[in-house]
Structure formats: C-alpha cells, structure tokens
Structure 1
Amino acid sequence: MHFLSKPLLLAAMLAATMTAAHAATLFDNLGASRDGADPLLSYGPLADSFNTGTQAGLVLTQVTALLKSDSADLVGDLRVSLYSDGASGPGALLTTLGTLSSAAVATNHFAAYTFTPTHGVALAADTTYWVQIESLGASAVEWSWSQDLSGTGVAGGSNYSALFGSNANTAFAPYQMSVSVQAVPEPASAALMLGGAGLLLAARRRQR
C-alpha cells in the first residue's frame, strides 16, 4: 500500500477544506412542510426573494423549486428568472435561469426541479434578489408554499404573486425553493493558495 507524503497529504486536505467551505446555500425550505400551493397561470408570476449576506464573490450555481401539475392536458412552458429587488417585489430582469415544459412536471404530486444557469451568475454582497417563475402558456402547474420559516435564509425574506403583491415571509408563507452558490476566491486569496501549493511542491522535491 502506498501512502501520501506529508506535503501531498496537506495539499489534499487543504483542497478538500476549501471546496467544502466555498459551497453554500442562501435559501432553503424544500424540506419544510407543504402547506399549500399557488397556480402559476392565475396567480403568477410568483417569486421568492433571497439575500446574499456579507460575503463577496458569490456565484449563483442553481435554483431548485417544488412544483406539481394538476392536469396533464394543459401544456405550456415555464420560465425561471433572476430579478433585482424592486420597490414592491421583483425589479429588473437580470437573467433567465432556465425553462421547463409543464408536460415534464409531475401530475398530482410535488417534485423538485433544478435550474442551472449556463454560465455562473455573479451576485453582489448585501443584496436582495428574486427568483421568479412564470407560466408562458396555459398550464396547471403550482408552486408549493410552506409556513415553516426555519430553513436557511427564509425568515427574513419576502414573496410575491401578481395577485397578492409582495409580502414578508412572516405574513404570507413563502414558496418552496433552494438557492445554491459558489464562492470565488478573491485575487489575494488565490495568490496565497498558489503560493502555498508552490511551497508544498518544493518540500516534496526536497524530500526526493
């Protein structure tokens, strides 16, 4: 059996630690109780807000929403988008995160659907964004909501529907979703990482 030398072992541990530390979830209530659902067609567009907190250099990697369809006969596309924060709900469109045909949505039971941007979307620190889902055609798709506010980033946010406007999550139950991000090291941190890797390599060569 071959064992890693100390420098290589330290490098592997450092890489694993940094990878784990730089992946984060900003909003997540997917596992909360399912207390109701709103139809995208008649109530929508529907949206949830999330906040990035103080950390800079975040990149949006994926959004997952809990959806179901009440009928397989109404088939239309859904669009999931990222919006800036407006005066009373979603503001300006920033990017489209993905589309989905309602024909692909499970009928009569909720399932999680993940939308991954083609390119990572940079997010600013201390900023509120909105994930909006809208029906582009006739469909019977609904977005589940939960009164459980204990999930990551949920209690302090807001939700929006075209029918009811914008409301704090503490007043109206938010829709169920998760927002995942990746932290990109700042230039100084990246240089420090490269320097550390160089020192480890030099130590490895000296051992030889």
Structure 2
Amino acid sequence: MAVNTEGDIFAKGGSFSFRRTWVNYIPAVTELNNTINIYLESVCETDKDGETNQREFGTRGITGKIAEEIFLYEYQKGSINGLSGSLIDKRHDGCGYDFETVDFPKYVFEVKGLSSERGGVTFTDKEWSVAEALGENYILVLVSNITYAPVIKTIPNPYKMFRPTKRVFTTIAINWSVDSSQLFSL
C-alpha cells in the first residue's frame, strides 16, 4: 500500500551535504577507505606499452559500502528527513533493497554511492522490480561525493521518477575447482 505523499517527508526528495572529510569521521569509513586504496593498487594493471590502466568498475562495491555506512550514521542521528530509530539490515537478504524501517510507516531504502558529485547508478532487476511493487515506500538514497563532502539525496519511488535503460548481459564465468581427493591426499 502506498503512503500518501501529501506532506510526506519524502514527497519532493531532499538533500544535504556534510563539510567534514569522511576519511577521519567514521571509523568504518576510514577502514573502507584504506581497503579502497589497497584494492586500487591491485586493480591497476600495466599494459604492454608500460601504461598503467585502472578499471573504473573495480570500486563499485566499495563505494556502495561507504555510502551505506554514511547513510546508517546519518540516519541514526536523525539527519535524513528527520527520521531516526532502528533499521533492519537487509543487505545480505537479496530482497531488492538495503534497509527497512522497523516502525510505521514502513519504508525501505536502497543506497547507491557515487565517488564524485555526479554520475549514474545501476539497479539490479530485483531492485527495480521491488521499487515498482513498493512505490512511494521505496526510497533511493543517493550518496554522492563520498570521499570529500558527501551529499545525501532521497528520491522516493524511483520507478515512477526515472526511465532507465534496460541492459541484458550474458555472463561467462570461469572458475577453478579442486576436488576432495586432491585436497585430502596431501
């Protein structure tokens, strides 16, 4: 059931910025920032001409994790549209969003992070389907410029607000398996 948006705190979306550098502000973000630096060193590769190339897609998950930590921190302080309280962490449940409120009205939050001030985001098919089903109760939380002066913007009902491009990919996965006889014959 959709929430009436007249006078609703998410009806127009909202944003605010922070003037602190997150690297020293939240311990979890400091740890993630260190992980990013280590990870960036590992995804940089040198081509045959000696040029160093960095794959931009390599930090997508890490940027998202930092954005989630910033969201949690600010939500607990009541800095996001005046909301605070307990959230249920759904990040590992595969349900199409990251967090949901415990109290009524029931909102769910999908957090997306951008390392710079501008950029696009990608929704999984599950996230987009759930956004359609939950309507006004599904809130996209966009955390941009996460490294320097994060800006948090809430966007209710992204399914209604945006017209994304659907992309279908065929993935080829390669893995290497070691069977049990090899593992236990040593």
Q: TM-score, normalised by structure 1?
A: 0.26
Q: Which has the higher helix share?
A: 2
Q: Which has the higher strand share?
A: 1
> Which has the bigger relative contact order, CA under 8 A and spacing at least 6?
1
Q: TM-score, normalised by structure 2?
A: 0.28
Question: Between Structure 1 and Structure 2, whose CA radius of gyration is higher?
Answer: 1
